[in-house]
Amino acid sequence: MESFEQWLADLTDPITAWLGGINDWVYSWVVILALVGTGVVMTFATRGVQFRHLGNMFRHLRNSRKDAKGGISSFQAFTIGMATRIGIGNITGVALAMILGGPGALFWMWIVAFFGMATAFAEATLAQLFKKRQEDGTFRGGPATYILHGTGSKTLANLFAVFMVFSMVVAMPMVQANSISGVLYGSHNIPLWISGLVIAVATGVVLIGGVRGIARATEWISPIMAIAYLITAIAIIALNLEALPGFFSDVFRSAFGLDEALAGTAGGIFAAILNGTRRGLFSNEAGMGTNPNAAATATVAHPVSQGLIQSIGVFFDTMLVSTATGFIILTSGVVSLQGADQSAASNLTADAVIGTLGGWMAIPFSLMIFFFAYSSILGAYAYAEANLVFLGWTSRAWRIGSRAVAIFCAGIGAVLAVPFVWTLMDSAMATITLLNLVGVLALTRWVTTALKDFEKQLAEGREPEFDEDTAGLPKKLPSDAWTIAAEN
């Protein structure tokens, strides 16, 4: 098996080097500007929706488990989104960002998340506006749908859908499985190929049930794992409260290049910005165009309601979970960023947790990693399926084929090299993010109009309900999804 793994490494190393060079240029000069720029535009266009409506975000989240009338509830759609948001990006991704960019990478993840909340609100609201009802009573939609019907560009919409399918069926399962196998090998000496086999079988079992099966699974897995991880983090913070001021000091000094000793292996302030942005995007997915696919499936009274719920997911993801990971790594005293390479990212957080709380945490933490990554694989396939529907690739052969590829990639990803799977994911993320942001910026007026309609009803003391005829949208929606919803 070791010779097979070496053969894979020899095959993928040249690809890693080639794609890595392209990624560094794209993220340095294009993605950072597009991602943060769009967040700033949306923050101003919505007059700071991420802090003006913070209370409404929590209120709508609390009420989001209402009956969905045979469809998928707002809460289920939220948990599908959180299944890919909260996971390996918050654990392995944060560790990788800090190895390469130093503790300061975490600060830039915060910046990306703050503006990303406005972007996440915009793309989720658009997904709801342009969603389409399926024959089984559920809804489908996402960036491909709102790009097509909002901008009129079929080429841009199809490009997004194709790259989304590739990202969610190939790249995402590989990254998630790779993190699982790395932790299981490092903590329990379980061979990589055995982890791959288990992950592939477990993935296949749920994918047979389609999007409804995924919704049922992630509705429970995502919140439980997130709460368990936060409890673990809170316990470590409580044991190291005196280290809290030093933690924030290290993050800020590293973020602005004020302490060379805190620089990552890539070195300097630019490395902190670059890796913080790159890993922040993978972690919270704001602007990436993935979560709108989940947002579109929800049955809600007003599009803005789901926009608010998806926006708060970015807050939970980065401000709470990713920050907790950074604190665990920096204050544990049992791991060091100095001299660590990318291959150490999978085990860095696990070693810090186990070293702080004791060896008994090895199995619980490994289970958390497993279910975090596993639920992300499931959530990712739900996104892929939505885009297969958009492309018209809905035959039995396409459904079986796409699920088979996802299962295979989940299995093979467990034995591939860490740099390869993350480099492939970075390339996929950059492509779908840039295509999605073009659509979001072009449709800004739709977002602000829907928000004004929502706020007008709130000001009148009513629970907002969407009526296309009175909402004042730029033009008539292409689907009757909202007309039918109003009649019901």
What single-letter DSSP state applies at residue 298?
B
Helix ranges (H only) for 189-267 are: 192-207, 210-239, 244-255
Please report the DSSP string for 22-82 in residue order: HHHHHIIIIIHHHHHHHHHHHHHHTTSHHHHTHHHHHHHHHTTTS--TTSB-HHHHHHHHH
* Residues forming beta bridges with residue 24, ordered by sequence position: none
CA atoms within 13 A on the CB side of 69: 13
pLDDT at 368: 84
The alpha carbon of residue 399 and the mean position of all alpha carbons in its chain are separated, in whole angstroms, by: 23
Distance CA 287, CA 291 (A): 9
Q: Beta-carbon neighbour count of residue 351 at 10 Å?
A: 20
The alpha carbon of residue 294 and the mean position of all alpha carbons in its chain are separated, in whole angstroms, by: 11
pLDDT at 84: 60
- Tokens 């070293």 correspond to 355
Query: Which of 448, 126, 462, 137 is closest to 292 using CA atoms?
Result: 126
pLDDT at 116: 92
Q: What CATH code would you report for 2-487?
A: 1.20.1740.10
Distance CA 327, CA 471 (A): 45
pLDDT at 154: 95
CA atoms within 13 A on the CB side of 233: 23
DSSP SS3 for 133: strand
Query: Which of 374, 434, 385, 392 is closest to 165 using CA atoms?
Result: 385
- Write down the domain spans for the chain: 2-487
143, two tokens: 């960036």
pTM, full prediction: 0.85
pLDDT at 438: 95
Q: In a structure prediction context, what are the per-residue pLDDT tens digits for the chain, which is 488 residues long? A: 557 667 777 788 888 888 888 888 888 778 888 988 999 999 999 999 998 998 888 887 776 656 555 456 677 767 666 666 666 778 888 888 888 888 888 999 999 899 999 999 999 999 999 998 877 777 888 999 999 999 999 999 999 999 999 999 999 999 989 988 988 988 889 999 999 999 998 888 877 765 555 556 556 666 777 778 888 888 888 888 888 899 999 899 888 877 766 666 666 787 788 888 877 877 778 888 988 988 888 888 899 999 998 898 888 888 888 898 899 888 877 767 776 777 777 788 888 888 888 888 888 888 888 888 888 888 788 888 889 988 988 888 988 899 999 999 999 999 988 889 989 988 988 999 999 999 999 999 999 999 999 999 999 989 899 998 888 999 999 877 787 544 44
pLDDT at 5: 67
